[in-house]
Amino acid sequence: MIFANIPEKTRERKTIVFMEDYQLEIAKLDKNNKWLEDPNVCVLEYPDNDIPEDYPVLTNELYLKLKDKGLITQNEHCVLVQYPYDTNDYTKPIDSNLIDFIYTNAIEKYNIFSELCACLGATRVVYQSDKKESESYSEQANLNVSGGGGNKIISGNLNVDINRDLNKKLKESLSVDAEAKFKGSDKPDIEEAKQLLEDRNLANDAHLQSLIKKRTGRNAIIEQKVTINMTSDSMETLNTAAKVGVAISGLIYHGEGNLEAGLNVDVQSIQDISVTFLVEFGFG
What residue type is assigned to position 139 of the chain?
E
DSSP letter (8 states) at residue 271: P
Provide the residue type at 94 as one letter: I
The DSSP call for residue 158 is: H
Residue 43 contacts residue 26 (beta carbons within 8 Å): no
**In terms of DSSP bridges, do strands 223-229 and 124-128 run parallel, antiparallel, or are they unpaired?**
unpaired
In single-letter form, the type of residue at position 277 comes to F
pTM here is 0.83
Per-residue pLDDT of the chain (284 residues; tens, 9 = 90+): 888 899 999 999 999 998 888 778 888 887 777 888 899 999 988 766 666 677 788 889 999 999 999 998 766 778 899 999 999 999 988 877 888 999 999 999 999 999 999 999 999 999 998 765 555 444 544 444 333 333 332 334 556 788 899 999 999 999 998 899 999 999 999 999 999 999 999 999 999 999 999 999 888 999 999 999 999 999 998 888 887 876 666 554 443 434 445 666 778 788 899 999 999 998 65
Cα dihedral: 49, 51, 52, 55 (round 10): -140
CA distance 174 to 159: 22
Domain definitions of the chain by residue range: 10-93+235-265, 96-232+269-280
